Structure 1
Amino acid sequence: MRKNMRLSLVAIILLMATVSCKKAVGPEQEMKQEVSQDVINSVKALGFSTTNIIPEEGGYIVEGDIFIPTSDLNRSLNGSILRVGDVEQYRTTNLVTGLPRTITVALTSRINASVYGPVLDEVVRRYNAENLSIRLQRVSSGANITFDRANGSYLASAGFPTSNGNPYNLVRVNTNAIGSGTSSTFINYAATIFAHELGHCIGFRHTDYMNRAYSCGGAASNEGASTVGAILIPGTPSGPDPNSWMLACIGSGVNRPFNANDKTALNYLY
């Protein structure tokens, strides 16, 4: 059963009860913060779903894990749509420029490196194996993209590249919700989440943003942009693909390495 990345922390803990080496944590009390109609209108104008907008320091989290700074609410995220089949799509906003280039990544000291170091190493391996015009390199500090610990009703969140062509510089990781472990199952599951957020940092939207019910369940919904500017990527299928690393929702313990369509899209852009 597919689970939404936006599941409450309690639900996530229940889902992970069968995963070995996890740490059980109690639910956190979150203050309900009202989101103004102006913010809702701005989020919709940017082409994002207005369901369950989460106020976060400095901005808002939409679609479960995408961070929009308050300063970006009134700017246009102009980009093309790369269509993969009838349901699954990749929609770019700003892209990383100055290619080829190396993008450095690091964990902050607030994230347990003995647990999440192998996870980040797997993310670096996955991207670099594709021989893209961007190459990842893990460093100890001063990284272009930093993974930091966070709390909230999400597994992780990240934003999109800046208008001057740099990757978004911060991935917030809810390590309490994701859990911990040393098994290959845990490392691949957590690496899928990390790789997904890094995908946002370099310009990828959710592949099922036109119909989030595809991976998240529930009723079909699309409050985003239309298909104006859609590009059918050569060599991709005409039907939906259930295994993309950029699907909006993920089940506990699920591993989504890049599939053939993901690789086509990555190489198309980078």
Structure 2
Amino acid sequence: MRKLFSIIAVAAFATLFIVACSKSAKQDVQAEVSQETLNQISALGFSSDNVIASDGGYIVEGDIFLSPQDLTTQKTAHKLVIANEEQYRTNNLVTGLPRVITVSLSGRNITNLLEDGVEAAVARYNAEGLGLTFQYVGRTGNGTINISVVNTGQYIASAGFPSGGNPYGTIKYARNFTSGYSLGFVTTVVAHEMGHCIGFRHTDYMNRSYSCGGSGGNEGSGSVGAVHISGTPTGPDADSWMLACLSASTNRPFNANDKKALDYLY
């Protein structure tokens, strides 16, 4: 049986969390989060199962970070499209196209593998000829999106959704996953989190069991938005770069429907 990882995002959000934990361990993690907070998370349109208190906020759906401000800010609710697995975006996108987004690295223990993965993720996006392009500016820490290596055992990586027409500015990447994995895996993780930064939700947002196993879940409507992207399928979409979970051997370049979604938005 493959060991699956769940790719997590933050609300402005995005994080990777190892799902191979016991039921009791999940219950212990969720016990740290109040019912009021779980209700607020659910009202935003995110799953309130297995919420992790982390970094002064909460990680939901395995890789999405929500700050306390995200939970209390009142926004206009948007009705979600109820379907199976499709490409979904949030209500917030990057504006001002054509536009170049710089990407940098910072933190201790930056490996050549991680740097190669960042450059490969940037190249994947730029190969699509979008109005939104990326430029890697090295280990400077001053990119529009900065990927920071952090010491954590709670997730693989985390990021967020756009705000004010700008991409989410920080991807946190766990030091434990900067070596010992394939270039394809690291590239896929980085490209996935960059996808959250520019407004993509999980392809299997409506039924995470498609990539994660277990039982499916309907997250309902919420204020952050999960808008179906025109032209993408209404059935399962294998190997999408924005699927919620992946294995240690996964490599997911953009599939045909990913390319349609990227082209439609950018």
Aligned-partner residue type, residue 249 of structure 1: C
- 1:262 aligned to 238, 258, 261, which one? 258
CA gap 1:127/1:121 in 2 versus in 1, 3 angstroms: same
* TM-score under structure 1 length normalisation: 0.81
SS at match of 1:197: helix
Aligned residue number for residue 106 of structure 1: 104
In structure 2, stretches of 5+ residues that fail to align are 7-16, 23-27
Q: Do the aligned residues in 1 keep the contact of 2:93 with 2:162 (CA within 8 Å)?
A: yes
Cα deviation per residue 1:35-63 (whole Å; 9 max; x = unaligned)?
11221111101100111111112311110
Secondary structure of the corresponding residue to residue 104 of structure 1: strand
Segment of structure 1 superposing worse, 113-122 or 241-250: 113-122
CA contact (8 A) 1:96 1:203 kept: yes
Q: Distance in 1 between matches of 2:30 and 2:206?
A: 28
**Aligned residue in 2 for 1:41:** 39
Q: Which residue of the partner structure matches residue 12 of structure 2?
A: none
Matched residue type, 1:233: S
Q: 1:79 to 1:156 in 2, by over 3 A?
A: farther
Shift of 1:111: 4.1
Query: Please, which of 195, 217, 230 is the counterpart of residue 233 of structure 1?
Result: 230
| CA deviation string 1:105-159 (max 9, x = no partner) | 1110324242211111101100000111111001132111111122132211111
CA offsets, 1:219-249, max 9 Å, x none? 11122428x9954623x44421111000000
Give the aligned partner of residue 3 of structure 1: 4
TM-score, normalised to structure 2, is 0.82
Match of 2:54 in 1: 56
1:75-94 equivalences under 5 Å are: 75=73, 76=75, 86-94=84-92
Separation in structure 2 between the aligned mates of residue 198 and residue 80 of structure 1, nearest angstrom: 25
1:156 maps to 157
What pairs up with 1:117-196 in 2 under 5 angstroms? 117-140=115-138, 141=140, 142-150=142-150, 151-162=152-163, 164-176=164-176, 178-181=177-180, 186-196=182-192
CA distance in 1, matches of 2:227, 2:118: 32
2:147 is matched by which residue type in structure 1? F
**8 Å contact kept, 1:90–1:206:** yes
Is contact 1:2-1:217 (8 Å) kept? Answer: no
Give runs of ≥4 in structure 1 deviating > 4 Å: 8-11, 30-33, 77-83, 228-232
Q: CA deviation at 1:91?
A: 3.0
Distance of aligned partners of 1:161 and 1:121 in 2 relative to their CA distance in 1, 3 Å threshold: same
The alignment partner of 2:261 has SS state of helix
Per the alignment, do residues 42 and 55 of structure 1 end up closer, same or farther by CA in structure 2, a change over 3 Å counting? same
Q: Distance in 2 between matches of 1:114 and 1:213?
A: 34
Question: Deviation per CA, 1:6-58, whole angstroms, max 9, x where unpaired?
Answer: 326889xxxxxxxxxxxxxxxxxx98861112211111011001111111123
Gap change, CA 1:268 and 1:112, over 3 Å in 2: same
Q: Match of 1:21?
A: none
Unmatched segments (≥5 aa) in structure 1: 12-29
CA contact (8 A) 1:78 1:93 kept: no
Distance in structure 2 (CA, Å) of the matches to 1:256 and 1:43:
29
Q: Distance in 1 between matches of 2:153 and 2:184?
A: 22
Amino acid at match of 2:214: G
SS in 1 for 2:123: helix
Classify 1:8/1:207 alpha carbon distance in 2 versus 1 (closer, same or farther; 3 Å). Answer: closer
Q: CA deviation at 1:79?
A: 6.1
Q: Which has the higher strand share?
A: 2
Preserved CA contact (<8 Å) 1:158 1:170? yes
